[in-house]
Amino acid sequence: MKVRIENPPIFEKRKAPVDHEQLRAWIATYNEEALLADGFEDAIVGIAERCSQNPLVVYDADKCIDILMQRDGMEEDEAEEFFQFNTLGAWMGENTPLFLWKYEPEE
93-100 average pLDDT score: 97
Quick one: pLDDT band at residue 7, thresholds 50, 70, 90?
very low
Q: Is the pLDDT of residue 82 over 80?
A: yes
Confidence (pTM) = 0.82
Selection from 47, 55, 46, 42 nearest residue 14 by Cα: 42
Centroid of chain to Cα 50 = 18
pLDDT of residue 3: 47
User: Which residues 6+ apart lie within 8 Å of 96 measured at CB?
Assistant: 35, 56, 90
Q: What are the pLDDT digits (tens) for 24-67?
A: 999 999 999 999 999 999 999 999 999 999 999 999 999 999 99
